[in-house]
Every structure is written in structure tokens, then in C-alpha cells.
Amino acid sequence: MRLEPIANPTAARRLGLPVLAIAATMLIAMVLALIAGANPFAVLGQIARGALGSKLAILETLNRATPLIFTGLAVAVAFRAKLWNIGAEAQLYAGAILTVVLGTGALGAPLVLPLSALAAMLAGAALLLGPVLLKTRLGVDEVVTTLLLNFIMLLFVSYLLEGPMKDPLGMGWPKSPALIPEARLPRIVDGLRLHWGFALAILAAIVVWVIQTRTALGFEIRAVGQNPEAARFAGMPVNVVLIKTALLSGGLAALAGWSQVAGLKGHLSLDLSPGFGYTGIIVAMLALLHPLGVVVTAIFVAGIFVGSDAMSRAAGVPTYIADMLMATALLCMVLAILLTKFRVVRG
């Protein structure tokens, strides 16, 4: 078999195939439910109810979506330039660390929130700058370096929480001291458990969208991603574009850590992120790297995770079904996108 480009893919092909990818994922969800000895339709229903079935469930889904919007944007921005940032997990923790450093009394009321956000972004950007410089200067593959940095960063956080950042009142539990109240993100509506981080995440998506569609940098990022040689030939400073992309991407991932600490947890601990950095890759790919699409897919992915937790308690199907579904969705989606542009021909 070989692939033949399709000159003008029909709308049915461009829309139908991604829908088919989601349908295939649902089918696999049902097969997994059957394997687990549960009723597949009941399992799908319970996931949906667990994610959206009540006001509490919806708020939980949106809260879970917040860090995923940030990490999804971080990945979408980087992947658009074919910069493979798999280190959003580490950048998230870098942001969280700075949020705690500045938010536990070092800064006072009006400044602490914006400055901790800024510092977090700088930390995340700095963390990705290293791998990108290694890529542009020495040709070291950034996938491996950013992946390895995730492990180093988690060990560094573990060291901080048992050493210099240890909460003296933590009863031996490795966590940082709590943020001062002024450093916390307030709730959007009093009494509802949803913080401003969610609104800021949507704002970030809009900003990224504007950057990508309305600025020279956005044009350059796309050009470098599509064909770096052509971009270089056209006189584009490819390495500078990659570095700018990295700063933006690392900064966005760090905001996920900032919003988790300042908005939700109020302190830093080792379970701050159950892999939000990695899940961000799935969120970005499902959104076809579109920044506004990231908001939608982040809520969808968050819903699957929140819904699976609830379903697992009720139906006894392991919660890991959510991770399997997300990985399946990712693989089905990349295949579907390919098939919108190419036709499989025999011979």
C-alpha cells in the first residue's frame, strides 16, 4: 500500500473522520467495560453522569480542565513549530515552586498574584530554554531531554518538600507551607468551587489564538513547523523562532502549576499533577493543535477522567480505563487526520 495526497478533501471527509475516531474510542471503551465484566452502556452512562450529571460534577470537570488547558496550550504552541516539548510536567512543577516561593509571605497583597504568575512563567520558560538551546546548538533531540527533565524535576520537588520547603506543621507529610490568603486565586462565584484559574486559562487560549493568527511570530511558528528549510531559505531566523516558541510554551505549562497551587491546593505537594503535562499532549492533539479547540478538548478529557473516577466507584471498572481511552483517542485521531489528507492506494 502507499499514500496518495488528496487535492481537495471533502467536508464530509474532514469532519467525518475525526468523529469516526471518537466513535472508535467509545467502541473500545465498551469493549474494555465488557472485559471488566460490566454493562458497556451503563459504564458509558456512568462516565457521562459522573462528568456532567450534577452541578458539583460539572464544576469538578472544569476544575480538572483548568491545568489541562494550560498544558494543552503549551504543547499545541510547541508542536505547531515541530518543537517536541514533552516536558510540560516539569515546567508545571517549576511554576508551582515559584508560586510557593513568592506566595508564602515574600510578597504582599496587590502584587503577589500577578508577580507569582510572571515568575512561574519565567521559571517554566527557563526550564524549556535549556533543551531548546541544546537542540538548536548541538542537535540534541529535545524529546529525550525534556522527558528526562521531568524525572529530575520530580526528584528536585521531593528534595524541596523534605528540605528547604518543608512545612513545619506538615506532620511529616511532604508538603510545602500554605500560601497566604492574598496569594490565592479567588473563586469566580462565591460558594461555587471554581477558581479564576479557569477563566484565565480560557483567556490564555484566546491570547495564544491571537498570537498564532494575527502576529508575525504566529506566522513564523507555522512556517518553521511546516518546513524549516524553506523558512530558513526565506530568511527567517529559525532558531530564534524556536526559542521564542519555547519561552511561550514553557511559560504556559508553568501557569498550570501556578493555577493548581494558587487556585486549588494552596500548597505544593508531590501529587500536584497526576500527569497533567503528559495529558496535555493528548488534549493538544485532539484539538488538532488549535488553541481554542484546546479549551473544548481539555474539558472533554477532564470529563472522561472525572467521570471514570465516579464510574469506577460505582461499576468497579478500574479508573485506568480513562488513561487507555485517552491514549486510544490520540492514536485514532492522528490516523484520522492523516486520512483526511491522504488516500490509501494499493500497490
Partner 1 sequence: MTEIIDILISASFWAAVIRIASPLILATMGELICERAGVLNLGIEGIMVIGAFTGWMAVYQGMPLWGGVAVAMLAGMLFGLLHSTLTVPFGLSQHVVGLGVTLFATAAASFAYRLMLPEVTSPPKIQPFQPLDIPVLSDLPWLGQALFSQTALTWAAFAVAGIVAFTLYRTPLGLAVRAVGENPAAVEAQGLSVTGLRMGAVMVGSGLMAVGGAFLTLSAFSSFFFEMVNGRGWICIALVVFGAWKPGKAVLGAILFAAFDALQIRLQQTSMGAVLPYQLFLALPFILSILALILMSRRAEVPAALMVPYNKGER
Binding site for partner 1 (CB under 8 A): 1-3, 32, 35-36, 84, 86, 134, 138-141, 143-145, 147-149, 151-152, 155-156, 158-159, 162-163, 278, 281-282, 285, 316, 318, 320-321, 323-324, 326-328, 330-331, 334-335, 338
Nearer to partner 1, 237 or 318 (CB): 318
* Least spacing, CB of residue 140 vs partner 1, in Å: 5
Q: How far is 102 from 257, CA to CA, in rounded Å?
A: 14
The number of angstroms, rounded, from the C-alpha of 305 to the middle of its chain's C-alpha atoms is: 14
Between CA 194 and CA 186 the distance in angstroms is 9
What SS3 state is found at 184? coil
Looking at the Cβ atoms of 3 and 210, the one nearer to partner 1 is 3
Q: How far apart are CA 88 and CA 128, in angstroms?
A: 9
- In angstroms, the CA 197 to CA 67 distance is 8
User: Which is closer to partner 1, CB of 285 or CB of 298?
Assistant: 285
> Which of 194/221 has CB closer to partner 1?
221
- Closer residue to partner 1 in complex, CB, 110/163: 163
Strands 342-345 and 2-5, by their bridges, are antiparallel
Quote the least distance from Cβ 77 to partner 1, whole Å.
16
CB of 162 to partner 1, least distance (A): 8
Q: At closest approach, how far in Å is the CB of 199 from partner 1? A: 29
From start to end of the chain, where are the E strands? 2-5, 342-345
The residue among 158 and 213 lying less far from partner 1, judged by its C-beta, is 158
Q: Using the minimum distance from each CB to partner 1, give the nearer residue, 203 or 338.
A: 338
Q: Choose between 35 and 199: whose C-beta lies nearer to partner 1.
A: 35
* Contact status, residue 92 vs residue 225, Cβ threshold 8 Å: no
Q: Which CB atom, from 41 or from 159, has the smaller least distance to partner 1?
A: 159
Q: Give min distance, CB of 7 to partner 1, in A.
A: 15
Sequence letter at residue 83:
L
User: Sign of the CA dihedral 31, 35, 41, 43?
Assistant: negative
How many separate helices (H) and strands (E) can be counted in the chain?
Answer: 13, 2
Q: Which amino acid is at 218?
A: G
Nearest CA among 335, 334, 274 for reference residue 305:
274
CA distance 284 to 290: 7
Q: In the block, which residue shows the cell 538548536?
A: 136
The CA-atom distances, in angstroms, between 321 and each of 45, 68, 75, 271, 308 are 14, 18, 23, 20, 7
Q: How far is the CB of 11 from partner 1 (least distance, A)?
A: 23
Count of beta carbons in the 10 Å neighbourhood of residue 31: 11
- Strand partners for 5: 342
